Amino acid sequence: MTHQGAALQSYNNELVKCIEDLCTKRDELHKQILNEEEEKQKIQNDLRILSERLAKVNESLAKKIAARNEYDKTIAETEAAYMKIIESSQTLLNVLQRESSVLKDKGVPAFSNLPI
């Protein structure tokens, strides 16, 4: 019977040791879970902050692109109007030169010869 008691004691010791090992592994895993949950919270917070920053940058970018488009439109309209002024000036110069030539041919003195 002592032999059976010794065997039972040995099994009991092994069982207690296995349970303690499992508890230790569980505790280590629990610590890892807590650390990863904390990291997850930090990442989610960072993601929220970055999402807010992205929204602000996108809004600012949209406003600046709209303003640049207005500049482009104004510049294009101004350049087109300026080209019309240049064309009109060229036409006016041509007409003035032609009229001056006609007047000269008729013997009318040039403007530079007129008294001031």
pLDDT averaged per 10 residues, the chain (length 116): 86 96 98 98 98 98 98 98 97 92 79 54
Q: What is the pTM of this model?
A: 0.59
Q: Is residue 21 part of a domain?
A: yes
Overall number of domains in the chain? 1
Q: Is residue 25 part of a domain?
A: yes
Q: Is residue 86 part of a domain?
A: no
Q: What is the pLDDT of residue 107?
A: 80
Q: Is residue 32 part of a domain?
A: yes
How far apart CA 59 and CA 65 sit, in angstroms, is 10
Q: Is residue 89 part of a domain?
A: no
The CA–CA distances, whole Å, from 64 to 8, 29, 55, 68, 83 equal 82, 51, 14, 6, 28
How far apart CA 95 and CA 56 sit, in angstroms, is 58
Q: Is residue 85 part of a domain?
A: no
Write out the residue range of the structural domain in which residue 25 sits.
Answer: 9-76
Q: Is residue 84 part of a domain?
A: no
Q: Is residue 99 part of a domain?
A: no
